[in-house]
Structure 1
């Protein structure tokens, strides 16, 4: 694969991840010419106005973003020394997005292939795929062919008559992007780029061998479970299902006849996907709803019987989606779980059983400055946004090179500034 374009040393970038359960903000500065970064500010708050990955109350969501950004800026104040935070990278929930494998061909006329030829192929593809209702978020080259001969890892410098580029193209609904831009603008921030959550989670939690040999990243959020397939160093497919950890909490609240907050606490303290010999004898106190109602007790095995079917459903849906899109073979035999919902005891073993693969829990890697509390699976996507913004600038949509009309993403930003 061709090398990636890095963000210049000394740059400051913020990452904002708006999830169904929490909104997180990391501020980082680029420490070297290879895209290495150090986190200098961290902020996270409970999300408001978001259900199942969908913004349902824009003002409440804007307030959550503002609070998270303010907390991160306060932590980074001494290092930034009054430097205003402007550029941010934001996550896009995968239930707003569509993943397609496309190809573009350009004439080379016998000269040596250059980076400009690859850029031209990608630009033409983006121009063909753009529409008023969808915007391109990622255009990732995944393979090359020179004069019909495949298997080319890096075409730059090769002489050929034509070059074909196979591209993983990820689009998002334009209306959803306008809502995300609105959350950033409310905090006086400019969105530099966007990245889907499972791709970001993979960038922060995978080692190079996993990216090259093939693996499946499953980001288990509160409202959405999304996934990305990596192969030969690139993300080749992504998808999502509208089920997550919050649905487990809802199941417990209904099954135990208790409130959502109490159900979440019970899930955190006593929940599991795996049964144990002592579960039938261990009794759990269940708070009642409403005044005058009496608290009850249930065996811990009841919790397992409620939680496990929902978690099985999540992995069954993921497995079915992967099979339909014919990417299971590329995913190899390895799964990396990220997101807060993957920390439920027994999830790793259940995923291995349902998907017939080796499974590990993924955490942010190779990003300095993280506090111990943020070196956890639920912050993998936020950390990955920093990696994406610093290390993979070339995967962002082209900005109308060679006099061509701008792709839809720059036009979305222009529309927002004119109409918000």
Structure 2
């Protein structure tokens, strides 16, 4: 169940730099976070599990921290996905309805066919989202019910990922005594957390800049119409700093956070930064370098990441549909100057996105780095509403002797 019997929803964002768990209470369509846990991510690289025991330990620690904070125990979680090389494409399904008016049962049947589309054996479907209907070949139909037609079709936005990495992640979650209620591609979750409805309707690109990956999602007409993942993120910037300045990774991350920027200035040449050196004793560990050198290391990697996002967006064919609006989120988007650099590289209007649809988040956990985890809660609540609607839809009629026997058994026993 998306919402447990005690009204709790849990989201688990398993990222390359941190593992985060939010536990929220659903009350009348509103969400309030009552438990938060986050831990340094271990055993993961670019969203993929590379050490099962280490990844399991990070997941357990994050979940247990959130459980202690709210005094509740959870069993079901929604998990964000950036592993398995996610791929996005649109597929069409069509069926004959013999000229009568389109009914709820017809819509339910064509959607069910769309959700059952076969995929290669090494890939699994993460999402299958209806983005538009067709009536006798006419496209752009939003609501086909009540229209007379010979054939009814639906265009499904299908997102798939490699089965192996998905199974590895599911195993780590199961080892923590948790059930997987759903899997949500990371930029979709971040979009649900950060985007306002007008942006989703008019067209927007959300770019989630994480530690190991940078993912993008295009929303149009209120729907997710494209998603992709670039295997570059904030951790690559940290590695570049560590190598370029011969400093430990922990100090490289600190330098990036305190002094990092992608906007060079004339004052950078005169501002000196003490850089600890790898393997040096404490007394001689400091090596002063101009801040301009640090900027010269950071800026090319961030530019490369944004240029790859732009290339993926152009290749997808959704660049025009997405309009001129971009929303940046994710931990790496907080680096000074990234917003301005993204506006220049992508030639679009850019703003920084934060979770806006859940309550109870403190300032420390309400920033861009926690967007995906907050979006998982919103997705879970929407999924619960969709399940209720599907339960209320009329049952699709089937014919044949076996179907008739089944109906007779249900009616008499």
TM-score between both structures, scaled by the size of structure 1: 0.88
Residue of structure 1 in register with 2:408 after alignment: none
Please identify, of 325-334 and 153-162, the stretch whose mean Cα deviation from structure 2 is larger.
Answer: 153-162
Counterpart pick for 1:44 among 38, 41, 44: 38
1:301 has 2:295 as partner = no
1:21 aligns with 2:17: yes
Residue 344 of structure 1 and its aligned partner are, at CA, apart by 0.3
Q: Check if 1:260 corresponds to 2:249.
A: yes
Q: Is the 8 A contact 2:218 2:318 kept in 1?
A: yes
C-alpha distance in 2, partners of 1:95/1:309?
27
1:86-105 counterparts in 2 under 5 A? 86-93=75-82, 95-105=84-94
Query: Once the two structures are superposed, what CA deviation does each residue of 1:138-166 show, in whole Å capped at 9, x if it has no partner?
Result: 01111111122222222233332221111
1:136 touches 1:170 (CA, 8 Å); kept in 2? yes
Higher relative contact order (CA 8 A, sep 6+): 1
Q: 1:25 to 1:341 in 2, by over 3 A?
A: same
The CA distance in 2 between the partners of 1:347 and 1:151, in whole Å, is: 37
Instruction: State whether residues 22 and 46 of structure 1, in contact with CA within 8 Å, keep that contact through their aligned partners in structure 2.
Output: yes
| Partner Cα separation in structure 1 for residue 7 and residue 202 of structure 2 | 32
Conserved 8 A contact 2:3-2:9 = no
When residues 190 and 294 of structure 1 are mapped into structure 2, their CA distance, relative to the original with a 3 A threshold, is closer
Match in the other structure for 1:374: 365
> Which sections of structure 2, spanning at least 5 residues, go unmatched?
399-413
Shift in CA distance, 217/253, structure 1 to aligned 2, threshold 3 Å: same
Q: Is the 8 A contact 2:12 2:21 kept in 1?
A: yes
Per-residue CA shift, 1:78-117, capped at 9, x if unaligned? xx4xxx4222111111553111111111222333334443
Q: Which structure 1 residue ranges, 4+ long, deviate > 4 Å from structure 2? A: 6-10, 401-404
Q: 2:50 aligns with which of 52, 56, 59?
A: 56
Q: Aligned pair 1:139/2:128, yes or no?
A: yes
Check conservation: 1:336, 1:361, Cα contact below 8 A.
yes
Determine which of 236, 244, 256 is the counterpart of 2:225: 236
Partner of 1:417 in structure 2? none
Size of the aligned set, in residue pairs, is 390
Judged with a 3 Å threshold, the aligned counterparts in structure 2 of structure 1 residues 95 and 173 are, in CA distance, closer, same or farther, namely closer
Distance 2:125 2:84 in 1: 15
Output aligned runs, 1:341-380, within 5 Å: 341-380=332-371
- Is the Cα–Cα contact under 8 Å of residues 8 and 30 in structure 1 kept in the other structure? no
Kindly provide the CA deviation profile for residues 373-397 of structure 1, in whole angstroms up to 9, marking residues without a partner as x.
11100000000011111113549xx
1:197 maps onto 2:186 in alignment: yes
Q: CA deviation at 1:119?
A: 3.2
* Aligned-residue offset at 1:30: 1.8
| Change beyond 3 A, Cα 1:187–1:56 | same
Q: Which runs of 5 or more residues in structure 1 are unaligned?
A: 1-5, 405-420
Given candidates 172, 180, 184, the residue that maps to 2:173 is 184
Q: Which residue of 2 aligns with 1:69?
A: 63
TM-superposed deviation, 1:352: 0.3
- In the TM superposition, residue 128 of structure 1 has moved relative to its aligned partner by 3.1
Higher gyration radius (CA)? 2
Matches within 5 A, 1:205-224: 205-224=194-213
Q: Distance in 1 between matches of 2:142 and 2:344?
A: 35
Distance between the aligned counterparts of 1:94 and 1:211, measured in 2? 25
Cα distance in structure 1, aligned partners of 2:30 and 2:136 = 37
TM-score by length of 2: 0.89
How large is the RMSD of aligned CA atoms in angstroms?
Answer: 2.3
Closer, same or farther: CA 49–340 of 1 in aligned 2, 3 Å: same
